[in-house]
Amino acid sequence: MIDINLLRSDPDRVRENIRKKFQDKKLPLVDEAIELDSRRRALLSEGDELRASRNSLSRQIGQLMREKKTEEAETVKAEVNRNAERLEAIEKEEAEVSERLKKTMMGIPNFISPETPIGRDDSENVEGQRFLEPKVPDFEIPYHVEILEKLDGIDIDSARRTSGQGFYYLTGDVARLHSAILSYARDFMIGKGFTYCIPPFMIRSSVVEGVMSFEEMDGMMYKIEGEDLYLIGTSEHSMIGRFLNTTIDEKKLPLTLTSYSPCFRKERGAHGLEERGIYRIHQFEKQEMIVICKPEESESWYEKMWNYTVELFVSMGIPVRTLECCSGDLADLKYRSVDVEAWSPRQKKYFEVGSCSNLTDAQARRLGIRYKGAKGGGFAHTLNNTVVAPPRMLIAFLENHLRADGSVGIPEVLRPYMGGKTEITVKA
């Protein structure tokens, strides 16, 4: 949510930002917000005048009563009662207008970074840097589910019976590898000075509305029937929600946190072969990083955060690249975002395995997350980034470490988490 003072002072800048995101259908929200804001301020002003008048009239009634001017006092009392009725109506209307204004403001996207390329959708994202040389082996790499089945590491048929499409069982050494990657990612981030957290896996609607746009919520979140609770789509949701309506001492900033959680997503729509299996699923686990900082620090943290993900993947011998998200591919709260993509030797292209975003103060405004210091304060800036999400990571890992005989090598950094194993072999 943007600062309403910016909307008042420079509505054309807000409109231009909406156009850059190719969301012209949202242009009417600008005039709607300006009108609602004007009406709200008029109601507040009238209410203040009535309260001041009430105080003055109350003193007048007291004076008249002391002077035994009962009839005049009753006339003034009648005026006080009329004002009270009007004030009650004003307060009711002001609450309704404020709520409409809030929802309208939530629909207006955050300002994008000057560094963000202008484009309609993800096809116009811009490649940044590449890390490690992508390679294609001289043998055919099977579809990732086939690799997993030969390692006796997956059971999709049973999952369909128990849970439906979009679920799976991981077993044996593959399940262990999945957990090893998460444990390594956890310790990697702790080594970078981040505090490890395990958050609630369900959050209330007030938090959901604060951490994402309405469109995202409808397309992603599972709601618990009969409860004001949603399953989280990522631990960022509950981690940022932890600071709902709080003011943080400036001395405690930046807050650097890394969190583990399962994640639950609807993932609507049909997808091609490569996005089936364990690529696009309803339940997965993830290690996340979250930073809450002062405004002047957020761009620096943005650069550090995506670099940490790159460093993690490179340490496991997986080639990656960065992709700067264009304006039309940014969610409404995002100021700037970069995807980290891993190399797929099978597809001979890169695919997304994580995303780093700077939301500036847009999320903090919705959630009421402020900071305060000796020289003042304001709304904090929030950032989030995927450290690793093993289902997609597993695909990249298996393809890049697969050997001709079907076995999969384990890089040195993961061996302590695999009981010293150096490989996962094909099961007879």
Give the contacts of 189 (CB within 8 A, at least 6 positions apart). Answer: 196, 258, 287, 289, 308, 387
What is the rounded average pLDDT of the residues 299-303? 98
Distances (CA, A) of 359 to 111, 205, 305, 337: 9, 20, 13, 9
Identify whether 115 is part of a domain: no
Are residue 23 and residue 148 in the same domain, yes or no? no
Residue 116 within any structural domain of the chain: no
**Would the pLDDT of 23 be above 60?**
yes
Asked whether residue 208 is domain-assigned, the answer is yes
Residues 22 and 149 placed together within one structural domain of the fold: no
Q: What is the pLDDT of residue 407?
A: 96
Q: Is residue 95 located within the same domain as residue 126? A: no
CB 7 within 8 A of CB 34: yes
The stretch 298-314 carries a mean pLDDT of: 98
Summarize the confidence of residues 333-355 as an average pLDDT: 96
For residue 269, is pLDDT > 60?
no
Residue 141: pLDDT above 90?
yes
Provide the CATH number for the domain around residue 230: 3.30.930.10
204 and 78, same structural domain? no
Q: Which of 255, 142, 257 is nearest to 198 (CA)?
A: 257
Last residue of a domain, one of 49, 83, 107: 107
Mean pLDDT is lowest, of 43-57, 230-244, 245-259, for 43-57
Q: Which of 52, 73, 107 lies at the terminal end of a domain, its last residue?
A: 107
- 83 and 132 housed in the same domain: no
Q: How many domains does the chain have?
A: 2
Query: Do 87 and 140 belong together in one domain?
Result: no
Each residue's pLDDT tens digit, 98-111: 999 999 999 999 99
Q: Are residues 242 and 94 in the same domain?
A: no
Is 36 domain-assigned? Answer: yes
Kindly state whether residue 117 falls inside one of the protein's structural domains.
Answer: no
**169-170/154-155 β-pairing:** antiparallel
Q: What is the pLDDT of residues 56-112, one digit of tens each?
A: 888 888 888 888 888 888 888 888 888 889 999 999 999 999 999 999 999 999 999
157 lies in some domain? yes
Q: Which residues, in sequence order, are bridge partners of residue 295?
A: none
Say yes or no: 304 and 367 in one domain.
yes
Q: Are residues 186 and 101 in the same domain?
A: no
Nearest to 259 by CA among 281, 292, 228: 292
pLDDT at 186 over 80: yes
Q: Which residue has the tokens 């998460």?
A: 182
* pLDDT classification of 275: cutoffs 50, 70, 90: very low
**Which residue, among 166, 162, 339, has the nearest Cα to 266 in the 3D structure?**
166
Both 127 and 98 in one domain: the answer is no
Last residue of a domain, one of 107, 142, 160: 107
Residues across the chain: 428
State residue 80's pLDDT score.
Answer: 85
180 band by pLDDT with thresholds 50, 70 and 90: very high
As a whole number, the mean pLDDT across the chain is: 93
Look at residue 113 and tell me if it is in a domain. no
Confidence of residue 276 (pLDDT cuts 50, 70, 90): low
Whether 301 maps to a domain, the answer reads yes
Whole-model pTM: value is 0.90
Neighbours of 66 (CB within 10 A): 9
Supply the pLDDT for residue 427.
84
Report the pLDDT averaged over residues 42-67.
Answer: 88
Residues contacting residue 54 through CB under 8 Å, at least 6 positions apart: 80, 83, 84, 87
Residue 46's domain comprises 4-107
Q: Is the pLDDT of residue 175 over 90?
A: yes
Residues 51 and 135 in one domain: no
Both 401 and 329 in one domain: the answer is: yes
Q: Which value, in Å, is the radius of gyration of the alpha carbons in the chain?
A: 28
What is the structure's pLDDT at 391? 82
pLDDT at position 266 over 90? no
Q: What is the mean pLDDT of residues 135-154?
A: 94
